[in-house]
Amino acid sequence: MKKAGLYIRVSTPHQEKEGYSIEAQKEKLAAYATAKDYEVYKTYIDGGFSGAKVDRPALKEMIEDIEDERLDVVIVYKLDRLSRSQKNTMYLIEDVFLKNNVDFISLQESFDTTTSFGRAMIGILAVFAQLERDNIKERTMLGRVERAKKGLYRGGNNTPVGYVYNNGELVRDENTAEIIETIFNDYVYSRKSMYEIFKDCHTRFGQILYNPNFVKRVLTNDVYIGKNTFAGITYEGKHEPLVSEDTFQAAQERISNQDDRYSSPKTNRSALLARKLYCGYCGASIVKLNHYKNNKAVYAYYTCNSHRKSRPSGIKDPNCPQKNRRTEYIDEAVIKELKNIDFDKTIKKLQSTKPVSLDTHKQLRQLEKQQSKLIDLYQFDMIEIEEYNKRLKSINKQKEKLAAKIPKKNRALIKVLESLKNFDWDNSSFEEKCLAIDSLVKRVICKDEDVEVILYD
């Protein structure tokens, strides 16, 4: 008797009304398996997941069972329940199912992969599934354009600093609006450089300013004068401006001035790991020195302060056995460690100081997705405004409760970690590397060739 895997997916409440509910699909698939004399090995259910991607928990579990030779056939109610992407559909059928000698059957279209006609039909139907998805994306884009025309922010997860996204509109955030006002005033009226502003604000407001480029993005974002720019077109927004148009225009003029072009930040230090390195033997700080030949610096090296008799205050152990090491060796070892950081694991550890039943950050992401889908449903007139407001209020309340579980200090550090996930260590400038290290690294312990990197906790 063949072992069958029943795969079920529902992404929105609207699909349930169309007969795609989990129970409806399960009933039809189980009846078909019984009629075909198949043994149902397992029912795989992905509720609330889009068909655009294959990154779905139940689908992943089914693929593992297929690769472990636990299934002989996969049955779905309709082809787009498996995937709405032509590329992903063909990948699953050809590279997962058929490759592992597993048949695929879709009830609605009445075909299976045991016949050449069925395999040909899969390619044709997958094209139409992709067409349907493209149409949905087009309608969603039109809905967002309409929002922009009405002066409403496009929504999503990228709310500009200085505002909060509340009930479909941008509202001034008293906790962060001061940052935006400070940046514009310091740049336009105090004539500070962008990097000076970054350093001052980073010290004053904490690690919410995680990148020097943040300052330029703020200064060039017309959302702060009450505008909405979407798809290259600027509309008048309904939200409150945080700076005057005169101040904003003055900032643009200064930016365009060739004498004040924004370049990589400058730093006075010469060592990448300045004030971060400590000796693993005696605990003294480690500093960078240059080796000279004919009054020219030939190479640089790190040395324990206990070896520097000219600096007695820094000596911890006059007989410290620590060897001098070339700076490039230590620098490269530290960067290698930072490249190998499991950012997701570190972020998860910071998410809460108390154990919670579920991953708080994962729940927040799910709520953000729910909020985005809710906006789309409202744009397509699939729910009434009363129901929209009720659901949105419930989602915002849940988000506030979850956010409260994460300490403020951790929230700032999480933002730094997330911003440095894709940091390009190989092509970034010396100054940019210094900033990244300062944000991440608490100290580095060196004991001859062993290098231990300690991150902020």
The one-letter amino acid code at 179 reads I
Contact between 279 and 306 under an 8 Å Cβ cutoff? The reply is yes
**Please, what's the b/e burial string for 80-103 (b: 16 or more CB within 10 A of its CB; e: otherwise)?**
bbbbbbbebbeebbeebbeeeebb
**Please, what's the b/e burial string for 173-199 (b: 16 or more CB within 10 A of its CB; e: otherwise)?**
beebbebbebbbebbbeeebbbbebbb
Contact between 327 and 270 under an 8 Å Cβ cutoff? The reply is no
Q: CA dihedral in degrees (265, 268, 273, 277; nearest 10)?
A: -150
φ, ψ of residue 150 in degrees (nearest 5): -80, 0
Contact between 92 and 54 under an 8 Å Cβ cutoff? The reply is yes
The closest alpha carbon to 187, from 175, 200, 177, belongs to: 200
Question: CA-based Rg of the chain, rounded to a whole angstrom?
Answer: 29
Cβ contacts of 359 within 8 Å, gap of 6 or more: 348, 351
Cβ contacts of 445 within 8 Å, gap of 6 or more: 278, 279, 280, 451, 452, 454
Tokens of 301: 């090296």
Distance CA 237, CA 225 (A): 9
- Choose, from 11, 50, 306, 439, the residue flagged as catalytic: 11
Distance CA 412, CA 204 (A): 13
CB < 8 Å & 24+ apart, contacts of 289-297: none
Polymer length of the chain: 457
CA distances from 314 to 57, 174, 285, 286, 291 (A): 55, 46, 7, 10, 20
Tokens of 142: 């039109």
The verdict on whether 11 is a catalytic residue reads yes
Q: How many CB atoms lie within 10 A of CB 245?
A: 12
Residues with catalytic function: 11
